[in-house]
Structure formats: structure tokens, C-alpha cells
Homo-oligomer: A and B are copies of this chain.
Amino acid sequence: MPFFIYRELREHSPGGGGRNYSTMKIGVVGCGAVGSYYGAQLGRTDAEVWFLLRSDYDVVRERGVWIHSPRGDWHARPQCAAHPEEIGVCDLVLVALKTTANHVLPELLPPLIGPHTTVLTLQNGLGNEAALARVIPARQILGGLCFVCLNRVAPGVIQHTDHGQIVLGEYERPPEARTFALAERFQRAGVPCEVTPDLARAHWEKLVWNIPFNGLGVAGIAGFDAVIRGEYPPQSGTPTGRCLPTDTLLADPRWAGLVRELMEEVIAAASALGLPVAASHADKLLALTRTMGAYRASTLQDFEKGLPLELDSLFREPLRQGQAAGVAMPRLQAMCRVLEKLTS
């Protein structure tokens, strides 16, 4: 039997053929760019997708969500709720709040959670699964790393610029059947998705790049000497007065050296936490990043738009975990001080 015949038969079988995955009820908490984009994508599978909305409630309820993308514009019509009680218990909850809003989780999540609900945080950096674990059982938690360029350009309007991959893992556990099934659902929704056997390691691997390029990209405003000394306003040296994209950082040997030192601190912290990353990766990442031209890491974009920076999850929590594992991380500590003062 040729495969196309099987596929045809299967896809129109009563009760579904080769894939099961009955209609899944999905709640999206945090309907900014990330939540709206991935929630709308999942709505392309056999899913009932609910958006929990505040300021955008009226617009999205009336007009749905538009995704503008170089791959084509498209439209989604999620169910809309202003309160989690209107949604009720879900099979899957996507958490895509800014991590600066994690304190509202104990208020928003409980109505959505039953004993079989899976909660997937798509938030940046470290500590978000742990924040969920203070509200729901750890075994219900997954984390996803997003590699995507998105902007919420207006209520209900998301600009997708590039990419979209998700790397999915279980919180403090190896992958399970549901991990692979969810990855498969994302794939069916058009979202390239991989499963990582070790979510903590995946987070740290991402941080090796994100901490220097997201951090120095903004802290660089203060000038090199200030970033080294952890002071702002600078007592000496020259503030650059502007965010520094990757090519600017790498064109200056002093900044490039600091990028490498930060990478080495993060690698040392990861290794101390039992997540070994080869020291040679710093060189490799520097070389790869040189191929990218003037890349503006997401923190730069947030800062320039006046949005709050996710300092805790991207910088302070890695610093805390590294220091708790006995790695001093002085460069990261100084950079954190500058970022705090720049944004306070």
C-alpha cells in the first residue's frame, strides 16, 4: 500500500486515524507577543484555545488576533476570558507572562489547574518553573525555551519577524510521553519543536550567550569602566550612551574580552551545578556571533521601548545559583548592579 493512500484513509477515519490527540483545552496566561503567537499556532491543531486577557480583552474578543509574518499574515479567533474562572480547568496552560509579573501566578493559575493539567512556561531565563512549583505540583510543570523574534505592535496584532523554535523539557525530570506528544502537537501547528532530556542544562546553555549579549548590550550604555566596576552613573571612563548590538561589542577587544569572561563565568557556574559545558564553547560562540552582523538581543529592544527588563530571571537568578554553587561570578555581579541602576 502506498503511503499516500494510507494517509488519506487515516486522516478521514471516524474517530481519527494515525494521530489521536483529541481536542485539547488550552489556556494562555500572558497574552503578549509570545503567548499570543504560540497560543494562536496551537489553535491550528484540534484545540480549544482560551486567552486570558486584561487590557486587550475587548479588541481580541471582537477582532481576534492577527499574526503578521514574512511567511504570510494570518488570523486566529481564540476564546477570550477576563478572569480565569471563565476558562476553568485546562489540559494545557501556556504561561507567557513577563517574568516580572510572576507574583500574579498564585492568583491566576488555580482555576485553570486540575490534577491532569500540564503547565508550560515559555518565559525567559531561570526560576520560572520554580515559581510555578510554588503554586502547582512539580510533576505538572514543563519549560520551553523559545527562539523567536516577535513584537506585539498593537492590541491583538503580533509581528512575527523570524524563527519560532521551541525546546521543550520537563521540570526536574526526563521527558515523558506527554513531552513528546506536546512537541508533536507544536510540530503539527507549524512550530519546530525539540525535546531536551535536561531542561536545566538547556536553560544554562542558552544563558551562556544571553547573559553577555543581552546584559552588556544594555549595560554598555554606562561605558566599559562602569560595567567592570559595577557603578552607574560612571565615576570615570566614557559612557557610550547607547545600547550595543553584538557586532559593536565584538569589534572592541575590551568588550569582546568581557563577553568571553562572562561566558566563562556562566560556564563555570553551570559546571558547578553539574551541567558541564566545555570551556571551548566561549570561543565557538564568539566566532559564530561574529557571523551574525548587528544582532540586537531582545533585552536591548525592551530597554529601548521602555519596557521592564527581566533582570531576575535573566541575570540575578543565574548569579544566585552560581554563587550558591560556589562560583563567585564577579563580572556578572558588577553587570547586574549597572543594570539595576540603569533601570531603577
Question: A residues engaging B (CB < 8 A)?
Answer: 1-6, 8-10, 12-21, 145, 147, 163, 165, 167, 174-177, 179-181, 183-184, 194-198, 201-202, 205-206, 208-210, 213, 276-278, 281, 284-285, 288-289, 292, 295, 297
Q: In the complex, what distance in Å separates the CA atom of A3 from the CA atom of B205?
A: 11
**A197 touching B9 by the CB < 8 A rule?**
no
**B277 touching A13 by the CB < 8 A rule?**
yes
**B205 touching A285 by the CB < 8 A rule?**
no
Return the chain B residue nearest A14 by Cβ: B276
**B288 touching A202 by the CB < 8 A rule?**
no
Return the chain B residue nearest A165 by Cβ: B3
Q: In the complex, what distance in Å separates the CA atom of A285 from the CA atom of B179?
A: 35
Q: In the complex, what distance in Å separates the CA atom of A3 from the CA atom of B295?
A: 13
**A167 touching B6 by the CB < 8 A rule?**
yes
Return the chain B residue nearest A177 by Cβ: B177
Query: Which B residues are in CB contact (< 8 Å) with A4?
Result: 288
Query: How many copies altogether?
Result: 2
- Using A175-B177, A284-B12 as known contacts, say yes or no to A147 and B184 having CB atoms under 8 A apart: no
A1, A180, A183, A281, most chain B CB atoms within 10 A = A1
- Using A180-B177, A184-B195, A278-B14 as known contacts, say yes or no to A209 and B9 having CB atoms under 8 A apart: yes
| Neighbour of A5 across the interface among B1, B2, B5, B209, CB < 8 A | B209
Q: In the complex, what distance in Å separates the CA atom of A331 from the CA atom of B145?
A: 56
**A284 touching B8 by the CB < 8 A rule?**
yes
Return the chain B residue nearest A178 by Cβ: B177
What's the least CB distance linking A23 to chain B, in Å?
Answer: 14
| Neighbour of A177 across the interface among B20, B176, B198, CB < 8 A | B176
Query: Which B residues are in CB contact (< 8 Å) with A21?
Result: 197
**B20 touching A197 by the CB < 8 A rule?**
yes
Return the chain B residue nearest A180 by Cβ: B180
Q: In the complex, what distance in Å separates the CA atom of A180 from the CA atom of B18?
A: 13
| Neighbour of A201 across the interface among B17, B194, B278, B292, CB < 8 A | B17
A17, A165, A167, most chain B CB atoms within 10 A = A17
What's the least CB distance linking A61 to chain B, in Å?
Answer: 33
Query: Which B residues are in CB contact (< 8 Å) with A163?
Result: 2-3
Query: Which B residues are in CB contact (< 8 Å) with A277?
Result: 9, 13-14
- Using A180-B177, A194-B18 as known contacts, say yes or no to A2 and B201 having CB atoms under 8 A apart: no
Query: Which B residues are in CB contact (< 8 Å) with A5?
Result: 209, 285, 288-289
**B205 touching A6 by the CB < 8 A rule?**
yes
**B18 touching A210 by the CB < 8 A rule?**
no
**A281 touching B9 by the CB < 8 A rule?**
yes
